Amino acid sequence: EAPSAWAADEVRHRLGDDSGKVQVVVNPIGAAFARTGDKRPRPDGSRIILFGCHGGRANPYKGWDELVRALGALTEEEKRGLVLWVFGEVDEPCQTAGVRTEFLGVMNSELELARIYRTADVLAFPSKVETGPMVVREAIACGLKVVAFNRAACAEAIEDGVTGRVVEPGDYRGFAEALLCA
């Protein structure tokens, strides 16, 4: 069993197995999680970009460095009104590549996490390696568009142009533009 088509293909390739014994079993999300509900207060006139993972900036696989490069590709005019919300860690508000950044802490409540998904405008998902990203599925279930690089299973759940945008790895300007319009 594999959590994504990418992971299943990797197992098949490594084992040389064409027998069909490797199957994709996607992690389910409870219906209550995605139920319509309230939103979190948000800064007026802002566009909220959400980035989340436990220990996010410290985990080299989650792509924080890639998100910073993408935000750095925006012009000062494009950065105006942007707010980056980071969940999964605690820190003082700061600037990230010239974008106001607020840290929401660790999410211990799926209802609070769903409120955050419903409030944000887009989820930035610059992960470098994923086998079946729950955060992408959770965000989409709550109606949030997702921007991801096209690598590993990062973008598997995204229907490009419908539930978000899929950008080729290394295209930081394209990733940044997708964050502005997804």
pLDDT for residue 54 is more than 80 = no
Question: Residue 166 CA to chain centroid, in angstroms?
Answer: 11
> Which one has a higher pLDDT value, 114 or 20?
114
Q: Residue type at 116?
A: I
CA angle, 97 then 136 then 24, to 5°:
140
* Alpha-carbon torsion (138, 143, 149, 152), positive or negative: positive
Q: What is the pLDDT of residue 30?
A: 61
pLDDT for residue 168 is more than 60 = yes
Is the CB of residue 87 less than 8 Å from the CB of residue 114? no
Q: What is the pLDDT of residue 31?
A: 56
Q: Residue type at 41?
A: P
- Partners of 28 in beta bridges: none
CA–CA separation, 73 and 36 (whole Å): 34
Render pLDDT for 115-162 as a digit per residue (tens, 0 to 9).
Answer: 899 999 999 999 988 877 888 888 998 899 999 999 988 788 899 999
pLDDT for residue 1 is more than 70 = no
CA–CA separation, 158 and 165 (whole Å): 7
Question: Residue 55 CA to chain centroid, in angstroms?
Answer: 14
> In percent, how much of the chain has pLDDT > 90?
49
SS3 sequence of 67-103 = HHHHHHCCCHHHHCCEEEEEECCCCCCEEECCEEEEE
Render pLDDT for 97-125 as a digit per residue (tens, 0 to 9).
Answer: 999 999 999 888 878 888 899 999 999 99
Q: What is the pLDDT of residue 65?
A: 95
* Global confidence as pTM: 0.85
Question: Which letter does DSSP use for residue 128 in this model?
Answer: S
pLDDT confidence of 69, banded at 50, 70, 90? very high
Q: List C-alpha distances in Å: 122 to 18, 60, 139, 165.
A: 38, 22, 9, 10
